[in-house]
Amino acid sequence: MSIRPLIAGNWKMNGLKGESSEVIRELLAKVSTVANPGCDILICPPALVVNELAALCEGTSISIGGQDCHPNVSGAHTGDISAEMLKDAGASYCIVGHSERRTDHGESNETVKAKAEAAIRAGLIAIVCVGETLEEREGGKTLNVISEQVKNSLPEGATAENTVIAYEPVWAIGTGKTPTPQDVAEVHAHMRAELSALMTDANGVRLLYGGSVKGSNAPELMGLENVDGGLVGGASLTAEDFWPIIETGI
């Protein structure tokens, strides 16, 4: 079946109000030159600017998402943000389980699953991240690690409409290194097979690749079978760098 690509930018802890708005305006200007974009475009900025950027993007081809959420609707969770708050601010997606959350904050598959379920509960599309470390890859454990993370992080009630899976090999994030196209294709085919045992509409789930995606390698990566878009880090911080990646989907 034909799957509409998703090109998503994860800004991580980057972007003050003024510069963030300027990047969005530049992207909107570029998108406005395309009559019917062939992909969905998403920016996940720091939570403090979600509301402002969502307002800028209202009625356009660019969506805004969150980078994380708390599993609960509300409560005594100082410093946390609920999926409902993100939705209220104008977000339509939420990343959960990014390797930086799993590593820096000790998030388990069970925690990631709970956050994904919270995102869906709030009416957001959950982008569930999976990926192996360099040690796991060199130990020949990549597919086993991916299987475990997919099975145990997938939210209850996951469908192709409310869930996206993003493969980001931990060792490739921000390093400039990427797996070979054959390696990426192998992992994405494996994820599709795993999902087929868990979901009735697995063939419609968008599978994103992330990990040092840039304009120079995006055409080859996005052209692989079972790669339905990208989750882009550093290269999404400027319109100049992000637009060539978006063009692979347009």
Superfamily for the 40-247 domain: Aldolase class I (3.20.20.70)
Q: pLDDT at position 60, please?
A: 97
Q: pLDDT at position 238, please?
A: 98
Distance in angstroms (rounded) separating the CA atoms of residues 82 and 66? 10
Q: pLDDT at position 178, please?
A: 80
- Close Cβ partners of 59 (under 8 Å, ≥ 6 residues apart): none
Span 206-216, mean pLDDT?
Answer: 95
Write a three-state SS string for the chain.
Answer: CCCCCEEEEECCCCCCHHHHHHHHHHHHHHHCCCCCCCCEEEEECCHHHHHHHHHHHCCCCEEEEECCCECCCCCCCCCCCEHHHHHHHCCCEEEECCHHHHHHCCCCHHHHHHHHHHHHHCCCEEEEEECCCHHHHHCCCHHHHHHHHHHHHCCCCCCCCCEEEEECCHHHCCCCCCCCHHHHHHHHHHHHHHHHCCCCCHHHCEEEEECCCCCCCHHHHHCCCCCCEEEECHHHCCHHHHHHHHHCCC
User: Please, which pLDDT band fits residue 177 given cuts at 50, 70 and 90?
Assistant: confident
**How far is Cα of residue 87 from the mean position of the Cα atoms in its chain?**
16
Span 144-170, mean pLDDT?
Answer: 97
Q: pLDDT at position 2, please?
A: 85
- Close Cβ partners of 183 (under 8 Å, ≥ 6 residues apart): none
Span 149-168, mean pLDDT?
Answer: 98
Q: pLDDT at position 174, please?
A: 83
pLDDT 10s digits, 18-53:
999 999 999 999 999 998 999 999 999 999 999 999
Question: Which positions are annotated as active-site residues?
Answer: 98, 168
pLDDT 10s digits, 75-101:
999 999 999 999 999 999 999 999 999
pLDDT at 143 over 90: yes
Span 94-120, mean pLDDT?
Answer: 97
Q: pLDDT at position 195, please?
A: 98
